Amino acid sequence: MLVHAKSTPRSSFEYVEGWGMAVGAHARVLRPRTVSEVLAAFDLARRESTTLGLRGTGCSYGDASVNACGHALDTTAMNRVLSWDPATGVAVLEPGVTIEALWQRILPDGWWPPVVPGTAFPTIAGVAAMNIHGKNNFKAGTIGDWIREFDLALPRGEIVTCSREKESDLFHAAIGGFGMLGAFTRIVLQTKHVHSGDVEVTAVRARNLREIMDHFEGRTSSVDYLVAWIDAFAGGEALGRGQIHEARYLAAGEDPDPRRTLDVGHQHLPKSILGVPKGEAWRVIRLLNNDRGMRFLNSVKYATGRLEVLKGPFRESLAAFNFLLDYVPNWKWAYGRSERRGLIQHQLFLPAKGAHDAYCAILERNLANGCVPYLAVFKRHRPDPFWMTHALDGWSLALDFKVTPGNRDRVWAHCAELSELTLEAGGKFYFAKDLVIGPKEAERMYAPEMLEAFRALKRRADPDALLQTDLWRRVFGGAA
């Protein structure tokens, strides 16, 4: 489909940073409102001999939507739900529709986004470009598994409609292709039918990593969501101890008043936490945001987890269960609020075979190096057909490390050791979270034919290499 480029999108000069705040750059941000303005942005970049980094709401922890060497192309202003069919659950969305806007539109009709991240703020284009997973990855797959079709604006000046049948290579490479092949301008998503706005949640305590993994394996066929928080400060016999949360959708008839629970008002998160207004809670966490404070907080969380277990299965709204990290607005500010201070997340994916021992080695290395993540989250995954996907038949451990100007080199060196342990065990990394790997790690994580096929597709879709980000240059050297 050829669309003639018309007006240049509005733009402004801003500081654009990764969500974890550890990287950022001043850039001109272009905000198209139409498909033709997206194409006009490509023309402008070509004329100015510069590059464009696609960007949604900037919720990738690292440099996936930061482009220090060019402009940002931010598609959040294209945020209309183009159509919604409550009979089939199919939504047609512009790229800037957020997960929050989507669930608020579809839940009253008894539908829910099938795969969501731990925050509701990302855009549908951003989650498609990263092929995100949720706490239900072992069961529901990644978001790409639910995308039926999309339109991609190619930098060479064309709009291509892609699906499993049409332009199948582009379909499987652009989902999870971290914005390197083109800009999503329309996404057709199948959503999931639900009989209630609540899920039934059960908390389970685990004394070590073995117990967590055994519990997951026993429950994957009977629940819809599984996630474990791990106290990364615990060692010895308690290495990998934590709290598991499993949840299941309610069956028809289990919710006595589905109209009430499906209402958006029922989903709102509480306004205060232990009496502290939510907006200010990050200031309290900041007081404990050091090794000693976080060791204390993690052990208190583990000890008090017992109370939650005693209460037995309980019902919680879909938003409260899924978007736990949105409970405390701007909690990342507890890590500091000046440039290059913040956090990075390193999410280590391992195939099922050998995963237990490798994760134990990783947790032990954190303790031995004195570089302990303040938050550690464990999930179960399944493979999918997308070319650059992070998902596999195995597990992931996501580790949040505090970054300051003083500890930066030490944290990066430590993460390099964790990356090596991961690669030795046949593992992978995830670009939505990564800020540390380089070309050598990427070459070991993907089959060479896959890397070459992706580069070849980029050369075809983007012959002038207009689409670039700091991530692309860091990991793939910038050249297709």
Q: Which of residues 245-284 bind ligand FAD (CB under 6 A)?
A: none
Please state the closest distance from residue 166 (CB atom) to ligand FAD, in A.
18
Contact 189, 116 (CB under 8 A): no
Q: Which is nearer to ligand FAD, 115 or 209 (CB)?
A: 115
What's the helix, strand, coil split of the chain in %, to 5? 35, 25, 40
CB distance 111 to 193 below 8 Å: yes
Report in angstroms how near the CB of residue 278 gets to ligand FAD at its nearest: 15
Q: For residues 155 and 462, is the Cβ–Cβ distance under 8 A?
A: yes
Among residues 51, 57, 366, 468, the one that binds ligand FAD under rule CB under 6 A:
57
398, 377 in Cβ contact below 8 A?
yes
Minimum distance, C-beta of residue 258 to ligand FAD, in the bound complex (Å): 26
CB of 331 to ligand FAD, least distance (A): 8
Helix (H) or strand (E) holding 170: helix 168-174
Binding mask 431-450 for ligand FAD (x = CB under 6 A): -x------------------
Cα(351)–Cα(393) distance, rounded to whole angstroms? Answer: 6
Q: Is 11 in the site for ligand FAD (CB under 6 A)?
A: no
- Helix/strand/coil for 402: strand
- Choosing from 32, 89, 95, 240, the residue that interacts with ligand FAD (CB under 6 A) is 95
Single out the residue of 65, 136, 267, 298 in contact with ligand FAD (rule: CB under 6 A): 65
Q: Which stretch, 6-14, 26-34, 60-68, 358-366, contacts ligand FAD (CB under 6 A)?
A: 60-68
- String marking each residue 414-433 x if it binds ligand FAD according to CB under 6 A: ------------------x-
Closer CB to ligand FAD, residue 255 or residue 441?
Answer: 441
Query: Smallest gap, in angstroms, from Cβ of residue 132 to ligand FAD?
Result: 3
Half-sphere exposure of 299 (CA within 13 A, CB side): 9
> Scanning residues 182 to 211, which ones bind ligand FAD (CB under 6 A)?
183-184
- Terminal-to-terminal C-alpha distance of the chain: 24
Binding ligand FAD (rule: CB under 6 A), the pick from 9, 24, 32, 58 is 58
Residue holding tokens 């978001």? 143
* Mask for 215-244, x = binds ligand FAD (CB under 6 A): ------------------------------
Q: Which amino acid is at 203?
A: A
Residue of 40, 129, 318, 392 that binds ligand FAD (CB under 6 A): 129
Phi, psi (deg, nearest 5) at residue 445: -90, -25
Q: Is residue 343 within 8 Å of residue 61, measured between CB atoms? A: yes
Residue with tokens 């639900």: 194
Determine which residue in the list 103, 112, 178, 395 makes contact with ligand FAD, applying CB under 6 A: 178
Structure tokens at 298: 């993690």
Q: What is the DSSP string of 43-78?
A: HHHHHHT--EEEESS---SSSTT--TTSEEEE-TT-
Count H helices and E strands in the chain, helices first. 16, 20
Three-state SS string across 117-153, please? CCCCCCEHHHHHHHCCCCCCHHHHCCHHHHEEEEEEE
Q: Which is nearer to ligand FAD, 127 or 371 (CB)?
A: 127
Residues within window 105-124 making contact with ligand FAD, judged by CB under 6 A:
117-119, 122-123
Other CB atoms within 10 Å distance of the CB of residue 211: 17
| Beta pairing partners, 201 | 247, 314
Does the protein bind ligand FAD through residue 55 (CB under 6 A)?
yes
Q: Distance (Å, rounded) from C-alpha 267 to C-alpha 330?
A: 20
| Complex with ligand FAD: residue 133 or 266, whichever CB lies closer | 133
CB of 215 to ligand FAD, least distance (A): 20
Considering only the stretches 50-58, 211-219, 254-262, 412-420, report the one whose residues sit in contact with ligand FAD under the rule CB under 6 A.
50-58
Q: Does 322 bind ligand FAD (CB under 6 A)?
A: no
CA atoms of 375 and 22, how far apart (whole Å): 17
Rounded to whole angstroms, the Cα distance separating 247 from 263 reads 20
Cα 301 from Cα 284, distance rounded (Å): 16
Stretch that binds ligand FAD, among 175-183, 251-259, 293-301, 302-310 (CB under 6 A): 175-183
CB of 235 to ligand FAD, least distance (A): 26
> Which member of 23, 27, 30, 59 binds ligand FAD (CB under 6 A)?
59
Are 23 and 435 in contact by the 8 Å Cβ rule? The answer is yes
Total number of residues that touch ligand FAD (CB under 6 A): 33
Beta strands at 158-163 and 81-85: parallel, antiparallel or unpaired: unpaired
Binding residue for ligand FAD (CB under 6 A) from 27, 91, 107, 127? Answer: 127
Q: Among residues 120 and 415, whose Cβ is nearest to ligand FAD?
A: 120
| Residue among 8 and 330 whose Cβ is closer to ligand FAD | 330
- In the complex, which residues of this chain contact ligand FAD (CB under 6 A)? 19, 53-60, 64-65, 75, 95, 117-119, 122-123, 125-127, 129-130, 132-134, 178-179, 183-184, 325, 432, 469
